[in-house]
Amino acid sequence: MRVAALYDIHGNLPALEAVLPEVREAGADTIVVGGDVASGPMPRETLELLLSLPERVRFVRGNADRVLDFHGYGLIEEDAVWVRSRRWVAGELGEAHLRFLERLPLDEVIEGIRFCHGAPGSDEEVITRLTDEDRLGRLLRGIEERTVVCGHTHVQFDRLVDGTRVVNAGSVGASYEARPGAYWLLAGPELSLRRTPYDVHEAASRIQATGYPNAESFVETMVTEDPARPERMSALIEGL
């Protein structure tokens, strides 16, 4: 079996459209959508494309898939762009799609590989290339599988901790990598981290036409090259 892990698409339909032909060319017969699939500029179109695929598609839940769950965010400023963006996404998705996303499982195990969003059993815990090994060991405690594929932090890495391989599949739609592109993972027979280039400027034009409240910031990150970004964003996420 070959499994394509497509994580953190974030409603970037052009990026997904670029990746899917490569997924098929690679012979993947199963797709794992690793969370944060729709929260972005083209949420409904992105989710409906995935649901329509002939390949077997399995989903795990990301934190942003709980689109209207603001618990733990403190006082909500309704005019904040991220709040307006979440509410806009919810309106685009509609009730049925929102219920589908919030009821997704936190983990899927396929061919001995555990797929999760943040960490096993969590769509919020963060693992980066800089995560302390002691903390990472605690996050993996009790996990039988020797390979864990995660996402959430939008930077690919491949680490070995106490005999467990932890691989971040990267972000298809909103990566924090040095070069623009759609980042994903192919599993079977080996694990292979992939990057699919696509026309990010044409994609930016499509995104800016959607009415998504956070379109400008989304596009700026998507189109720029920044060699320091992976380390900088990993450190920021870790609070370093």
Percent of the chain residues past pLDDT 70, beyond the cut: 98
Q: What is the pLDDT of residues 92-135, one digit of tens each?
A: 999 999 999 999 999 999 999 999 999 999 999 999 999 999 99
192, containing H or E segment? strand 191-196
pLDDT band of 74, cuts 50, 70, 90: low
Q: Residue 25 sits in a domain of what CATH number?
A: 3.60.21.10
DSSP state of 49: H
Kind of pairing, strands 30-33 and 191-196? unpaired
Range of the domain at 108: 3-238
Mean of pLDDT values over 219-223: 95
Nearest CA among 34, 45, 51, 36 for reference residue 92: 45
Diameter over CA atoms, the chain: 48
CA 126 to chain centre: 12
Within 10 angstroms of residue 39's Cβ, the number of other Cβ atoms is: 29
C-alpha to C-alpha distance for 4 and 188, rounded to whole angstroms: 9
- Give yes or no for a contact between 60 and 37, defined as CB atoms under 8 angstroms apart: no
pLDDT band of 156, cuts 50, 70, 90: very high
Mean of pLDDT values over 17-26: 97
Q: What's the token pair of residue 111?
A: 């061919």
The total number of structural domains that make up the chain: 1
